Amino acid sequence: MKRSNRLVSLTNYFIENPEDHRSLTYHAKQYNVGKASISEDLDIIDTVFQDEGLGYLHRAAGAGGGVRYVPEGSEKNGKQFIKTLCEQLEDPSRILPGGYLYMSDLLGEPKTVREIGRVFASKFIHRNIDVVMTVATKGIPLAYAVASFLNVPVVIVRRDPKVTEGSSVSINYVSGSSRKIQTMVLPKRGLKEGAKVCIIDDFMKAGGTINGMISLLKEFNARVHGIGVLAEADDEEEDRVVEDYISLVRISNVDAKRQEIQVLPGNYSILN
């Protein structure tokens, strides 16, 4: 295969298989060329990925050496994406009764969801995550988007056990804002003992739901290695029960009466 064709094939491979470490010998065999040729291909791909803010190819030397694509998107791209997101969310027609915000259209766009996943993954990629966890329903697409970049599985917490999940562990927790007692359930087979978990959700008010997920993780002796929420509501800041999370946007001053709303960049854009 010629270099030009190899570059197309390899680029597709890396984009489809981030964080998947393979030896140069593996790649050389695929195309029936020498390792030196592959190495030159990788230089070209690495340069373009870096130039476009898509991350980089990480190469390890030695006998166990090889290459993997690290999809650590640039902060510039991340901040630009978040800015666009804020503008889209500030549309007053999104305001719903009770000061909630209609976001289902944005969360229904696979490209937007994938970019959200890329931004979170860029932050969590060096944290040795084993699994991404979310709670049904709206966090699910976001969790898959993050997990696809981290090359790890997703587990989904539910509000009630399902017959198709087998035996499960459940906990009760106090919802942050309404102070109601709620239940969360995770199938026993869903999580390995000691797993390093990244929690992803679409929206956080006081943080009760995420706190519930943290309690559930304790039942599995699993550890939280990262928390990401798409949007946080800043009117609950004082009562917040979760610290050390990353938010992409911050929703403030929702005034249903005046149809006004302010959406600002979340702590992602500040923390760096």
- Residue 199, φ and ψ in degrees, nearest 5: -95, 130
Both structure tokens of 184: 């969360």
Does the footprint of its own copies cover residue 263 (CB under 8 A)? no
Q: Which of 25, 47, 178, 183 binds its own copies (CB under 8 A)?
A: 47
Q: Which of 71, 78, 190, 207 binds its own copies (CB under 8 A)?
A: 190
* Window contacting its own copies (CB under 8 A); options: 81-89, 176-184, 185-193, 206-214: 185-193
Q: Residue 175: which of 209, 124, 132, 125 has the closest Cα? A: 209
Does the footprint of its own copies cover residue 32 (CB under 8 A)? no
DSSP 123-180: HHTTS---EEEEETTTHHHHHHHHHHHHT--EEEEBSS--GGG-SEEEEEEE-TTT--
Residues whose CB falls within 8 Å of the CB of residue 53, separated by 6 or more in sequence, listed in order: 73, 74, 76, 77
Q: Residue 115: which of 270, 268, 7, 250 has the closest Cα? A: 268
State the amino acid at position 130 in one-letter form. D
Q: Which of 24, 155, 210, 246 binds its own copies (CB under 8 A)?
A: 155
Does the footprint of its own copies cover residue 114 (CB under 8 A)? yes
d(CA 103, CA 128): 30
Nearer to its own copies, 88 or 100 (CB): 100
Q: Which of 120, 144, 220, 268 binds its own copies (CB under 8 A)?
A: 144
Does the footprint of its own copies cover residue 110 (CB under 8 A)? yes
Query: What is the closest distance, in whole angstroms, from the C-beta atom of residue 236 to its own copies in the complex?
Result: 15
Element (H, E) at 212: helix 208-219
CB-based contact 173:201 (threshold 8 Å)? no
* Window contacting its own copies (CB under 8 A); options: 12-20, 175-183, 205-213, 260-268: 12-20
What pairs with residue 191 in β-bridges? none
Q: Which of 91, 96, 221, 255 binds its own copies (CB under 8 A)?
A: 96
Q: Which of 71, 187, 207, 212 binds its own copies (CB under 8 A)?
A: 187
What pairs with residue 200 in β-bridges? 228
Q: Which of 85, 121, 129, 156 binds its own copies (CB under 8 A)?
A: 156
Both structure tokens of 205: 């008010």
Query: What is the closest distance, in whole angstroms, from the C-beta atom of residue 136 to its own copies in the complex?
Result: 5
The residues binding its own copies (CB under 8 A) are: 3-5, 7-9, 11-12, 15-17, 44-45, 47-49, 52, 54, 96-98, 100-105, 108-111, 113-114, 136-138, 140-141, 144, 147-148, 151, 153-156, 158, 163-166, 187, 189-190, 203
